[in-house]
Structure 1
């Protein structure tokens, strides 16, 4: 039995204990979990920033569309007034020439 006890002690001394492995495993899992949470948060922040950018772009496009429509209306009114004045000038010259 003396040899068996010596072998058991020798076996125990080889390699890390189960406690060390499980503690190391817990630390590793906690590290992976923290990394995953950080990555998830970073991705969520990126998605939120992209959505804000999309909303800003949509609002800018709507505002520019409204400004373009307004400019076209003003341009039509200006051209109409110009054509009416030009018609009056032409009529006035035609009457004068007779």
Structure 2
């Protein structure tokens, strides 16, 4: 009877090993796993594209800002030149008025 008990225990251990082997292997990539990996890759690609678009937008914004600054610098220089010319004309007229006024006051 002891042999029957040990045989039963041995058969039971073999059955357990066989059951473990019948299950999915840890190395088996299931269809769901493939879908999950594909989803992660697609998400990564979308994120990369979004970042590239954002960088391109920032570069366009910087270029626009540089051009705007250059245009404003040119306008400021032009306005300063006009202001200098206007002040020169004003001073010349003022000098003439002062000259006439001082000549007129002399008896």
Q: 1:35 aligns with which of 43, 56, 61?
A: 43
What count of residue pairs does the alignment treat as equivalent?
92
In structure 1, runs of 5+ residues without a counterpart are none
Question: Deviations 1:6-32 (Å, cap 9, x if unpaired)?
Answer: 933x341x4x46796343332222111
Distance 2:101 2:76 in 1: 37
TM-score, structure 2 as length reference:
0.74
In structure 2, runs of 5+ residues without a counterpart are 1-10
TM-score, structure 1 as length reference:
0.80
Q: 1:44 aligns with which of 33, 49, 52?
A: 52
Structural RMSD (CA): 2.2
Corresponding residue of 1:69: 77
